[in-house]
Amino acid sequence: MINKLYDTSLGLLTDLYQLTMAYGYWKSGMAEKEAVFNLYFRKHPFQGGYTVACGLGSVIDYIKEFRFDASDLAYLASLEGSDGNPLFEPAFLEYLGALRLACSIDAVAEGTVVFPNEPILRIQGSILQCQLLETPLLNLINFQTLIATKAARMRQVAQGDVLMEFGLRRAQGPDGGMTASRAAYIGGVDATSNVLAGKLYGIPVKGTHAHSWVMTFDSELEAFETYARYLPNNTTLLVDTYDTIQGVKNAIVVGEKLRERGHDLGGIRLDSGDLAYLSIEARHLLDAAGFHTTQIVASNDLDEHIMDSLKIQGAKISVWGIGTKLVTAFDQPALGGVYKLAAIRDPGGEWSYKIKLSEQAVKVSTPGIQQVRRYRDNAGFIADMIYDIHRHHPQEASMVDPYDFTKIRQFDSETEFEELLMPIFKEGDLVYRLPSIEASKARVLQQLSCFHQGVKRLVNPHTYPVGLEKELFDIKTNLVIRARSVSKS
């Protein structure tokens, strides 16, 4: 999608430092050193208790398209260092021009519920190639995961109501709008007003009309009548341009005419004022006139908290139109996903595990070639365990709380589980069939239904247990101790 938007290949959609490091690896003969990186986040967005992974579809498109074309190389050749000489030598640019990605990528499926420190993507390949992918992978996963999570939160509040995404006009540019529409649909909205997203992603498109339609006519009634005459099968009338209650009455007049012609009044839309009071009044008026199935649509700066409050107030809203707060993730506009080196293969073929130290314990990275095991019982998911695929003995496991090593949980060989990371690319070849966008959307609901209600609540959610398998925990602890002593010596 984005390459079409900008009419270019996408090798340069990265930070300059990835290219300067790549050059350094190439010059020093380290380019082919094998490495493993993990992409994960440290804290749920929106002070929530869960996160919905999204963006793998775009990652697959990106990796398939990845290359540096002649114009990219010409641009890189024009870059200069501080001494005015070219930053990159021609032989390196030739190397980039011939580069074909040969990384192996394992990832969790789109729509999977994930938790802090769990790898969403694990990338294994030459250090040079893994490094080049850091920025684009974070770009593709962070935003879509954020928006899918926001939409999932709204879906949890809306329960069975219809959710429409109206955000394109407020989105962060064209690509922000397109990706938000895709991620919001996977996360839980039913339709979008974004017609290009409808065409390209197969998302249902829906909409009402704007205030300008009403203002164009001499009266609101004439505006409603004209709209209903020409769009009798798409008639949701915006009733708040002048006086909302009078607007509902005018909509009922038009609804009666629609009925005489064999159609029905689809809905009315409220876009200002007290949405609880007005929706209850509108429902009375509509029901009294026999319009029991006419929907009440609400919009106006809605988010999951206002929706929740409106539900508690008994608002009679059955369709929610949500724009700005959804597509911009208004209260937390970025997910802090990171991409960290976890292992490097020695010349002898052995893996050497790596950690990034930090003063804050939560920021110390976890080493190893990781997989996530999600345990369940009859009631649903009970805990996730991050383990090292080369070390762990799969039958029985001890899981350590990484922030309190005295908390240890045992899982016997009878406990059911699923593994979250699946092979996506093997040495550059795609080995995964991306599920349909509908299947990814269904996965979110199916996954969320298996978590305790406390994990899903909006305020002070319960912390779902995520631990490290004991052997991995010990490896990490020893590496931290060693790294701290080296940094002091």
Ligand X SMILES: Nc1ncnc2c1ncn2[C@@H]1O[C@H](COP(=O)(O)OP(=O)(O)OP(=O)(O)O)[C@@H](O)[C@H]1O
Ligand Y SMILES: O=C(O)c1cccnc1
Tell me the one-letter amino acid at 414: E
Determine the size of the site formed for ligand PRP (CB under 6 A): 13
Kindly state whether residue 274 participates in binding ligand X, applying the rule CB under 6 A. Answer: yes
CB 315 within 8 A of CB 298: yes
Is 164 or 306 the residue whose CB approaches ligand X more closely?
A: 306
Pick one of 26, 66, 143, 166: the residue that binds ligand Y (CB under 6 A).
166
Instruction: Pick one of ligand Y, ligand PRP, ligand X, none as the site partner of residue 193 (Cβ within 5 to 8 A by kind).
Output: ligand Y
Is 301 or 396 the residue whose CB approaches ligand X more closely?
A: 301
CB of 322 to ligand X, least distance (A): 10
Pick one of 20, 78, 246, 272: the residue that binds ligand X (CB under 6 A).
272
Is 323 or 402 the residue whose CB approaches ligand Y more closely?
A: 323
Residue of closest CB approach to ligand X: 301
Is 309 or 410 the residue whose CB approaches ligand X more closely?
A: 309
Stretch of 3-11, 98-106, 154-162, 272-280 lying at the interface with ligand X (CB under 6 A):
272-280
Strands 295-298 and 319-322: parallel
CB of 332 to ligand X, least distance (A): 18
Of all helices (H) and strands (E), which one includes residue 176?
A: helix 173-187
Pick one of 323, 337, 402, 467: the residue that binds ligand PRP (CB under 6 A).
323
Of all helices (H) and strands (E), which one includes residue 40?
A: strand 34-40
DSSP 86: B
Q: Which of residues 281-320 bind ligand X (CB under 6 A)?
A: 300-302, 306, 309-310, 313
Dist. CA 468–CA 366, nearest whole Å:
9
Determine the size of the site formed for ligand Y (CB under 6 A): 7
Is 166 or 473 the residue whose CB approaches ligand PRP more closely?
A: 166
Instruction: Pick one of ligand Y, ligand PRP, ligand X, none as the site partner of residue 273 (Cβ within 5 to 8 A by kind).
Output: ligand X
Torsion of CA 388, 143, 438, 156, to 10 degrees: 90
DSSP 87: S
Return the beta strands (E) in 246-366 as ranges.
267-270, 295-298, 319-322, 338-345, 351-353
Dist. CA 311–CA 319, nearest whole Å:
12
How many CB atoms neighbour CB 396 within 10 A?
A: 11
DSSP 435-467: PPHHHHHHHHHHHHTTS-HHHH-SSSPPPPPEE
Kindly state whether residue 324 participates in binding ligand PRP, applying the rule CB under 6 A. Answer: yes
How many CB atoms neighbour CB 146 within 10 A?
A: 28
Q: Which of residues 167-206 bind ligand Y (CB under 6 A)?
A: 193
Residues 6+ apart with CB under 8 A from 431: 423, 424, 425
Q: Which of residues 145-184 bind ligand PRP (CB under 6 A)?
A: 166, 169-170
Stretch of 21-29, 101-109, 295-303, 390-398 lying at the interface with ligand PRP (CB under 6 A):
295-303
Residue of closest CB approach to ligand Y: 207
Instruction: Pick one of ligand Y, ligand X, ligand PRP, none as the site partner of residue 396 (Cβ within 5 to 8 A by kind).
Output: none
Kindly state whether residue 38 participates in binding ligand Y, applying the rule CB under 6 A. Answer: no
Dist. CA 55–CA 32, nearest whole Å:
28
**CA neighbours closer than 13 Å in the CB half-sphere of residue 485:** 5
Q: Which of residues 216-275 bind ligand PRP (CB under 6 A)?
A: 271
Phi and psi at residue 56, to the nearest 5°:
-60, -35
Instruction: Pick one of ligand X, ligand Y, ligand PRP, none as the site partner of residue 306 (Cβ within 5 to 8 A by kind).
Output: ligand X
Pick one of 247, 266, 321, 467: the residue that binds ligand Y (CB under 6 A).
321
Kindly state whether residue 302 participates in binding ligand PRP, applying the rule CB under 6 A. Answer: yes
Pick one of 14, 104, 299, 370: the residue that binds ligand PRP (CB under 6 A).
299
Instruction: Pick one of ligand Y, ligand PRP, ligand X, none as the site partner of residue 192 (Cβ within 5 to 8 A by kind).
Output: none
3-state secondary structure labels for all residues of 213-236: HHHHCCCHHHHHHHHHHHCCCCCE
How many residues are present in the chain? 489
Identify the bridge partners of residue 423 per DSSP, sorted by sequence position: 106
Residues near ligand PRP (CB under 6 A) are 166, 169-170, 271, 299-302, 321-325
Residues near ligand Y (CB under 6 A) are 166, 193, 207-208, 299, 321, 323
Residues near ligand X (CB under 6 A) are 272-276, 300-302, 306, 309-310, 313
